[in-house]
Amino acid sequence: MFNIQQYLKEQRQVVEDGLQRYMLQEQGNFSAHIQSMRYSLFVGGKRVRPILCLAAGRAVSASLDVEEQLLPAACALECLHTYSLIHDDLPAMDNDDLRRGQPTCHKKFGEAEAILAGDGLLTYAFSLLSHPEIPGPATATRLQLIHVLAQAAGSQGMVGGQYLDITNEEKDIPFDLLKTIHRSKTGALITAAVHIGGLAAQADKKQLQALINYGDAVGLAFQIVDDLLDVTASTEQLGKTAGTDAQQGKATYPAFFGLDKTRALAQEAVHSAQEALASFDERAEPLRALAQYIFNRTC
Amino acid sequence: MFNIQQYLKEQRQVVEDGLQRYMLQEQGNFSAHIQSMRYSLFVGGKRVRPILCLAAGRAVSASLDVEEQLLPAACALECLHTYSLIHDDLPAMDNDDLRRGQPTCHKKFGEAEAILAGDGLLTYAFSLLSHPEIPGPATATRLQLIHVLAQAAGSQGMVGGQYLDITNEEKDIPFDLLKTIHRSKTGALITAAVHIGGLAAQADKKQLQALINYGDAVGLAFQIVDDLLDVTASTEQLGKTAGTDAQQGKATYPAFFGLDKTRALAQEAVHSAQEALASFDERAEPLRALAQYIFNRTC
């Protein structure tokens, strides 16, 4: 039986070490600014995206030195994710005071400073991916990683999804649009995480497509669970303010389907994710367990 | 005698055509978001950075098809520049209502929408530079361009400079810090523009260094002139609110040196820029004329 708790603990440490190694250090005139970026990056977090990325690389290749070759890209993913949280929490957006049980970046440092911390982390992700002195896959593959990440994070991915999310508050939206919001706002970066893991490990076309299908399903499960937790968990459990979706009049899975059906849909997405990996051997066991772990957060 | 006005007119058209060709089109669910990005990108602007980029490429290589190979990178520069204006104008930052004679992005579309328009343009710059179906230099060079741009735009460049700028309002700062602010906030992206032009044209080490020196000097001249214009020009002439530096208690060249000495320093920077190009032949004439043009904006 695969021990997911032990695995997550070890992998989180790998990611923390990577972030410490590859993240900008506070230095010179820019120290205060870099401190605000590091605050949000190191305030906590499950590191799900980088862990998925590393696990995808290992599922494809036994010979790739994943921790050496893929870790910088995994860290870039976490920079992108963190920037998106900082900007989403801003007063003009979701106006959240708490994130991971701590004051949000703008509460701690001020609003202008938080906008710039987000801008800095977003830009740094691409600096890291293209850095000539930081290890990574071959040049052509690096360029592919950059493109996959920029597409997933951009206007037809995460940024576009956030736009649809905030501009559709208090509106009756069709279920199709809710799916688009989830897929772009949350799903795109999760899919990109396993996609770039596969690319770095030189996955063939079939393997890449399987990883993308897995990522799409896991991303969906993740967002459904997030919707559920916003209803069922306390602020203390979440580390961020609970119940904000209903408060902000956001469309969610529970609002469409009720809690029971929503749970069933989440479990269905987890099964789809696991099915997508049918052609992978036991090296994909962590990916399979990660999908189930995401569902178990609801229980 | 080199006709700079005619040159600028032609080159602006080249850049406009490039932006129309390479910028995201409004489509599907993300149309409204992409519209807000396109609004700020196409509302006007001198296109100085892309023009410098193309001119640097041509100064190095007569054989490079600059308009085909370098234009996407030049457009990415303009995306980065535009995003920085959108975020700088936000209520939490400089709180400007006017830009290029038109309502700023947040005035036109709302604050959250403007933050996301900036995020989208920033991310799209890297999407464009890494796009497998968009022309550009060889893969290894592309990766270099991405790194140079990410460094220039990031926390030790443009974003870091903006942080220093807003956190030092109403403060007596030493001249050294003012120079750092100017160099990072404005200078870094201008230097990157000619740097990536040179890289794409396969400049040798000496040529690259000359272009970087030119960029540093032009960037300095540009910022000194901007400081001057904020004092001497009207809101109508500027297309943005005049006199805001003094209003916001910002350190500027005129505040340190008075108008006459500031003008002399700007002209000195222009001479340094032109001197940096001493080893280039007549193909660098546009770069030389562009340096002088930047100074002439004050007259």
Q: Which of B199, B194, B186, B184 is nearest to B214 (CA)?
A: B194
Query: What is the complex's ipTM, to 2 decimals?
Result: 0.96
State yes or no: pLDDT of A165 exceeds 60. Answer: yes
Q: Which residues of B touch A160 (CB under 8 A)?
A: 29-30, 33-34, 120
Q: What is the mean pLDDT of chain A?
A: 94
**Which of A239-248, B76-85, B213-222, B268-277 bottoms out in mean pLDDT, i.e. has the lowest?**
A239-248
Q: pLDDT band at residue A42, thresholds of 50, 70 and 90?
A: very high
Q: pLDDT tens digits, residue range A60-74?
A: 999 989 888 999 999
* Average pLDDT, integer, range A135-145: 96
State yes or no: pLDDT of A191 exceeds 90. Answer: yes
Nearest CA in chain B to A149: B127
State yes or no: pLDDT of A126 exceeds 70. Answer: yes
- Chain B (33-92) residues lying within 8 Å, Cβ to Cβ, of chain A: 33-34, 37, 87, 90, 92
| Residue type, position B260, single letter | D
What's the CATH code of the domain at A31?
Answer: 1.10.600.10
| Residue type, position A289, single letter | A
State yes or no: pLDDT of B212 exceeds 50. Answer: yes
- Residues B170 and A132: their CA atoms lie apart, in Å, by 40
Q: Is A25 on the interface with B (CB under 8 A)?
A: no
Q: How much is the pLDDT for A244?
A: 80
Count of domains in chain B? 1
Query: In the 8-state DSSP scheme, what is residue A100?
Result: T
- Chain A (205-264) residues lying within 8 Å, Cβ to Cβ, of chain B: none
CB spacing of A115 vs B90 below 8 angstroms: yes
In sequence order, what are the residues at sequence separation of 6 or more whose Cβ sits closer than 8 angstroms to the Cβ of residue B211? B56, B59, B60, B194, B195, B197, B198, B203, B276
Contacts 24+ apart (CB under 8 A), A237-246: A239/A44, A239/A98, A239/A99, A239/A100, A239/A101, A239/A102, A240/A96, A240/A98, A240/A99, A240/A100, A240/A101, A241/A96, A241/A97, A241/A98, A244/A94, A244/A96
Q: How far is B287 from chain A (nearest CA, A)?
A: 28
Q: How much is the pLDDT for A144?
A: 98
Q: pLDDT band at residue A299, thresholds of 50, 70 and 90?
A: very low
* Average pLDDT, integer, range A142-156: 98
Q: Is B170 on the interface with A (CB under 8 A)?
A: no
- Chain B (107-166) residues lying within 8 Å, Cβ to Cβ, of chain A: 110-113, 115-116, 118-120, 122-124, 126-127, 129-132, 139-140, 142-144, 146-147, 150-151, 153-156, 159-160, 162-164, 166
Q: pLDDT band at residue A228, thresholds of 50, 70 and 90?
A: very high
Q: pLDDT tens digits, residue range B237-273?
A: 777 777 888 788 888 999 999 999 999 999 999 999 9
Q: How much is the pLDDT for A298?
A: 53
Q: How far is B207 from chain A (nearest CA, A)?
A: 21
* Tokens, residue A159: 């940024």
Q: How far is A117 from chain B (nearest CA, A)?
A: 8
Domain limits for position A79: 4-296
Q: How much is the pLDDT for B299?
A: 43
Contact A208, A67 (CB under 8 A): no
* Tokens, residue B281: 């032949």
CB spacing of B150 vs A142 below 8 angstroms: no
**Collapsed DSSP state (helix, strand, coil) of residue A280:** coil
Q: Which of A238, A243, A202 is nearest to A69 (CA)?
A: A202
**What's the half-sphere exposure (Cβ side, CA atoms, 13 Å) at B51?**
23
Q: Is A265 on the interface with B (CB under 8 A)?
A: no
Q: How much is the pLDDT for B298?
A: 54
CB spacing of A139 vs B143 below 8 angstroms: yes
Q: How much is the pLDDT for B178?
A: 95
CB spacing of A29 vs B164 below 8 angstroms: yes
* Average pLDDT, integer, range A145-173: 96
In sequence order, what are the residues at sequence separation of 6 or more whose Cβ sits closer than 8 angstroms to the Cβ of residue A271? none
Q: pLDDT tens digits, residue range B169-195?
A: 888 999 999 999 999 999 999 999 999
Q: Which residues of A touch B37 (CB under 8 A)?
A: 155
Q: How much is the pLDDT for A204?
A: 97
CB spacing of B143 vs A127 below 8 angstroms: no
Q: pLDDT tens digits, residue range B14-28?
A: 999 999 999 999 989
In sequence order, what are the residues at sequence separation of 6 or more whose Cβ sits closer than 8 angstroms to the Cβ of residue B296? none
* Average pLDDT, integer, range B82-95: 97
